[in-house]
Structure 1
Amino acid sequence: MDVTTLPQGEPTPMTPRRTRWQEAGNSGGFGKRFAELIAAGEDVDGEARLADTLLPRGARVLDAGAGMGRVSAALLNRGHDVVAIEPDAALVRQARETYPGLPIEERDILDLGPDDGPFDLVVCVGNVMLYLAEGTERDALRAMRAALGDNGRILVGFHLQDQPAHARTYTPAEFEADLTAAGLRVDLRAGTYQLHPANDAYSVWILSRAQH
Structure 2
Amino acid sequence: MTTPPTRWELAGEDNRGYGQHFADLVGRGVDVAGEARLADALVPRGARVVDIGSGMGRVAAALAARGHDVVATEPDPALRAQSLATYADLEVLPHEALALDPGELGTFDLAVLVGNVMIFLAEGTERSVLARVRDLLAPTGRALVGFHLQAVKAGSRTYPAAEFVADAESVGLRVVHRFGSYELHEPVDDYAVWVLARG
TM range (shorter): over 0.9
Residue of structure 2 equivalent to 1:60? 48
CA-based RMSD: 1.2
Which ranges of 4 or more aligned residues in structure 1 deviate by more than 3 Å?
A: none
Residues 165-191 of structure 1 deviation map (CA, whole Å, 9 limit, x = unaligned): 210000000100100111100000000
Shift of 1:39: 1.5
TM-score by length of 2: 0.95
Equivalent residue letter for 1:104: V
Residue of structure 2 equivalent to 1:7? none
Unaligned 5+ runs, structure 2 = none
| Between structures 1 and 2, the one with greater helix share | 2
Equivalent residue letter for 2:113: C
> CA 1:27 to 1:107, structure 2 compared with 1: closer, same or farther past 3 Å?
farther
Between the aligned partners of 1:122 and 1:16, the Cα distance in structure 2 is: 20
Unaligned 5+ runs, structure 1 = 2-14
Shift of 1:17: 2.0
Check the 8 A contact 2:15/2:154 in 1, yes or no: no
Residue of structure 2 equivalent to 1:95? 83
Check the 8 A contact 2:19/2:56 in 1, yes or no: yes
User: Are residues 1:124 and 2:113 paired?
Assistant: yes
Q: Which moves more between the two structures, 110-119 or 168-177?
A: 110-119
Higher-Rg member (1/2)? 1
Q: Secondary structure at the match of 1:163?
A: coil
Residues 113-170 of structure 1 deviation map (CA, whole Å, 9 limit, x = unaligned): 3212210000000000000000000000011110111100000000123611210000
Residue of structure 2 equivalent to 1:11? none
Q: Secondary structure at the match of 2:16?
A: helix
Matches within 5 A, 1:1-16: 1=1, 16=3
Check the 8 A contact 1:82/1:103 in 2, yes or no: no
Between the aligned partners of 2:109 and 2:91, the Cα distance in structure 1 is: 17
Equivalent residue letter for 2:95: R
TM-score by length of 1: 0.90
User: Are residues 1:23 and 2:10 paired?
Assistant: yes
> Which one of the candidate residues 177, 180, 184 is aligned to 2:166?
177
> Which one of the candidate residues 188, 192, 195 is aligned to 1:199?
188
Q: Which moves more between the two structures, 112-121 or 148-157?
A: 112-121
Between the aligned partners of 1:162 and 1:142, the Cα distance in structure 2 is: 23
Between the aligned partners of 1:131 and 1:64, the Cα distance in structure 2 is: 12
Task: Identify the structure with bigger relative contact order (alpha carbons < 8 Å, sequence gap 6+).
Answer: 2
